């Protein structure tokens, strides 16, 4: 953890540790500010909340939205639900596996793209869908996905 990150964590601890039920709000605040929960912050958090490191790590690992590694520069959430699968979602998943060299989830070797499977983006009528950096892309074709990956831009939004 960098000195700046430690200062940030300590400042957030001062504002959350005394609050009843402050652990989850603190973890969210640290992740919001740093982009992830550095493992080196766990002993500080455990001490401030009078808990063991194992208890804090248990909370972090229980919730899938907490991350202990720095995030990728870009995040791609690919819908793996039935409507998207029926409309070509598996071909998009295979294309991502081939182009990123990842299984169905993870971070590319260069740290540029994090791939996260999700089980509905709410765009079933416009399947297959994916979300890139919070922007929905619908009726995604292999060519459209290739364009998105090449420049992480292009393509149309929701239908």
The CATH number of residue 108's host domain is 3.40.30.10
> Domain boundary residue among 21, 40, 62?
62
Helix (H) or strand (E) holding 146: helix 142-151
The answer as to whether 92 is a domain residue is yes
pLDDT at 154 > cutoff 70: no
Rounded CA-CA distance 39/8 in Å is 14
The answer to whether residues 51 and 92 belong to one domain is no
Q: How confident is the model at residue 153 (pLDDT cuts 50, 70, 90)?
A: very low
The answer to whether residues 118 and 81 belong to one domain is yes
The answer as to whether 132 is a domain residue is yes
The answer to whether residues 90 and 135 belong to one domain is yes
CA atoms within 13 A on the CB side of 83: 17
Q: Which of 101, 159, 99 is nearest to 129 (CA)?
A: 159
The answer to whether residues 80 and 128 belong to one domain is yes
- Into how many domains does the chain fold? 2
The answer as to whether 67 is a domain residue is no
User: 45 is in which domain, residue-wise?
Assistant: 3-62
Q: Which of 41, 38, 68, 65 is nearest to 53 (CA)?
A: 41
Size of the chain, expressed as the number of residues it contains: 159
The answer as to whether 157 is a domain residue is no
> Domain boundary residue among 62, 88, 113?
62
pLDDT digits (tens, 9 = 90+) for 98-129: 988 888 888 888 888 999 999 999 999 999 99
Is 0.85 surpassed by the pTM of this model? no
pLDDT digits (tens, 9 = 90+) for 10-67: 999 999 988 999 999 999 999 999 999 999 999 999 999 999 999 999 999 999 889 9
Distinct helix (H) and strand (E) counts, the chain: 7, 5
Q: Which of 68, 70, 82, 92 is nearest to 144 (CA)?
A: 92
């Amino acid at each position: 953890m960098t000195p700046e990150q430690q200062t940030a964590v300590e400042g957030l601890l001062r504002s959350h540790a005394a609050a009843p039920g402050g652990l989850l709000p603190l973890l969210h605040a640290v992740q919001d500010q740093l982009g992830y929960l550095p493992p080196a912050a766990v002993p500080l958090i455990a001490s401030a909340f009078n808990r063991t490191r194992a208890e804090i790590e248990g909370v972090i690992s229980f919730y899938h939205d907490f991350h202990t590694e720095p995030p990728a520069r870009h995040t791609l959430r690919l819908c793996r639900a039935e409507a998207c699968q029926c409309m070509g979602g598996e071909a998009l998943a295979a294309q991502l596996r081939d182009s990123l060299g990842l299984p169905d989830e993870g971070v590319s070797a260069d740290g540029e793209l994090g791939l996260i499977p999700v089980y509905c983006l709410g765009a079933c009528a416009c399947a297959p869908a994916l979300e890139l950096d919070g922007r929905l892309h619908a009726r995604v074709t292999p060519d459209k996905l290739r364009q998105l990956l090449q420049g992480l831009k292009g393509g149309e939004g929701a239908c």
